Chain A
């Protein structure tokens, strides 16, 4: 029973500090496996820092991290087979096509010279299809718009196909179709057994499309639970500017600009 409880992501008293300022203060968190979780909070709350720690890109000053009950592997390649992250502004290699960029997501699984297999090509193609950008496959990445490029990088992370998938503001440059395609892809991954965390600022989206929400502020967790549970924390954090309403089909956050 105990091992069962330790599935998913377990953080225990994780802190990060640069000199005297804390980016994270003793964050303890349990995220259930196979869930789609939204991570939100004001700028500088420590959301990206937390994501980078789970991805193994950033080493915390203190505390422990467990993914499915085990600490992160020591070899970076094994880490990359466990957890994938989309950072906020990934760079690209000009001259590579969208398809070739997505294929880079298969790197942790490929052999000498990173040569992709036939099934790698198919995985990449499926990821492009999922995001509605199959027609852009052979376009040079530098010719794409910011939003299209963001979808390509999103597809690359899906293509990495790890049990844990992390996204830092993937919707920031997306139109409605893009958000829809991304959400469908994420929901599908969660049903297939992946554990997904998405950092986002759109509270309506967080409340409407995610089964679980984490609210952060000043390097601490303010709330974690279903959208209904999270409302209280959101009101505390954003109470000055936002008014939350519960409609028939969704909860909405209305800005009150005064």
Chain B
């Protein structure tokens, strides 16, 4: 009996330790592998002569890229896990619900129309506004249809999200096709998601660390609330959760995480969907476990995906967006989980 009681904690600790061991390894791998393949000599040179080109590449390109992939991965996975708990649906995440798409649309405005010197803070601001706008739109559409159809929360939110996402995507492509070719190319690349720290301005870093990260940390401290929400809103309420205000705050936190991440990296899908799902299946379904481990494994997943994207560059000879890699890694993994889960229950 005692062993059964502590099973959650034991599994959480084990999976957490594994992630903490793997994260530095992923960081090392990310610094070692560049667009010209694995190059230990470059790394040695960077550490021995601080003024060399090698040092610039390692300390100003690769390490910041690792840091950015850690940050973006952590934020995307956390908001995905929180979203799945919020709508009680393992298929939900900000990417599928159109929040990322809204952020991208907002950011594309500044990329296509604003003068380049404004781009940094304006992109973040508009991305966040876009994310917030879509969240409000999707939530109100879902609740409007729910009142008439009397169906559960998650279902309509998902449907409304998919449609809003489609609209945002279409508008994004429309904007890109009307813009001049150079800017259009920037938007297209960015729509597929790239981890490129050299492109980021100080303000983009500031908002993602100063606002996005605290929002994610807040979600982590509330992870146990998602267990109560899983029982249904009235049950959660009778167990002491102020459901309406918690939903509102959690949506805001998710929106901030998503908006600022999209502003920094473009559209990277599947991290928020697959990482929480993987944890749920492999570690434990307790939402505390899922939400608390998501940032660690999200960081790991995205860092490895980005390293793979750069490694592939040396093979393919042209740049591969990390969003393509996450989709190619994530979607089959998700399908495998779906089949496995379907067979199990």
Contacts and interface: CB of A to CB of B under 8 A. Distances in A.
A55 B238 contact: yes
A82 to B, nearest CB: 10
Contacts of B240: 76-77, 79-81, 107-108
B285 interface: yes
A58 to B, nearest CB: 8
A31 B199 CA distance: 69
Contact of A100 (B228, B234, B242, B286): B286
Nearest to A138: B4
A22 B298 CA distance: 51
A95 B238 CA distance: 22
A160 B231 contact: no
B238 A91 contact: no
- For chain A, the bracket of interface size reads 35 or more
B239 A160 contact: yes
Contact of A142 (B221, B239, B345): B345
Nearest to B9: A115
B288 A114 contact: yes
Interface hub of B237, B287, B345 (most chain A Cβ within 10 A):
B237
A94 interface: yes
A93 interface: yes
A36 interface: no
A199 to B, nearest CB: 14
A164 B239 CA distance: 13
B146 interface: no
Interface in A75-108: 76-77, 79-81, 83-85, 87, 90-97, 99-100, 104-105, 107-108
A112 interface: yes
B239 A100 contact: no
B4 A107 contact: no
A52 B237 CA distance: 11
A38 to B, nearest CB: 20
A87 B4 contact: no
A57 B4 contact: no
B39 interface: no
Contact of A99 (B5, B232, B287, B288): B5
A57 B285 contact: no
Interface string B208-252: 000000000000010110011011101101111110000000000
Contacts of B228: 104, 107
A207 to B, nearest CB: 29
Given A99-B4, A121-B5, A112 B235 contact: no
Contacts of A85: 234-235, 238
B88 interface: yes
A57 B287 contact: no
B242 A76 contact: yes
Contacts of B230: 91-93
A91 B223 CA distance: 18
A56 interface: yes
A90 B280 CA distance: 21
A231 B255 CA distance: 58
A91 B4 contact: no
A234 to B, nearest CB: 29
B278 to A, nearest CB: 13
A206 B239 CA distance: 27
A95 B286 contact: yes
Contacts of B287: 93
Contacts of B284: 95
Nearest to A112: B221
Contacts of A55: 234, 238
A138 B345 CA distance: 17
A75 to B, nearest CB: 8
Interface string B286-321: 111000000000000000000000000000000000
Nearest to B292: A113
A242 to B, nearest CB: 32
Given A107-B224, A142-B345, A91 B242 contact: no
B345 A87 contact: no
Given A80-B238, A125-B1, A113 B288 contact: yes
B116 to A, nearest CB: 45
13 contacts: A56-B238, A77-B240, A87-B235, A90-B232, A93-B230, A93-B285, A93-B287, A96-B285, A97-B4, A104-B228, A107-B239, A113-B223, A113-B288
Given A100-B8, A142-B345, 9 more contacts: A76-B237, A85-B238, A87-B232, A91-B88, A91-B230, A95-B286, A96-B285, A107-B240, A112-B221
Instruction: Name the 10 nearest CB pairs between A and B, nearest first.
Output: A95-B285, A114-B224, A80-B240, A93-B230, A108-B240, A77-B240, A138-B4, A76-B242, A91-B232, A57-B234
Interface of B: 1, 4-5, 8, 88, 221, 223-224, 227-228, 230-232, 234-235, 237-242, 280, 284-288, 345
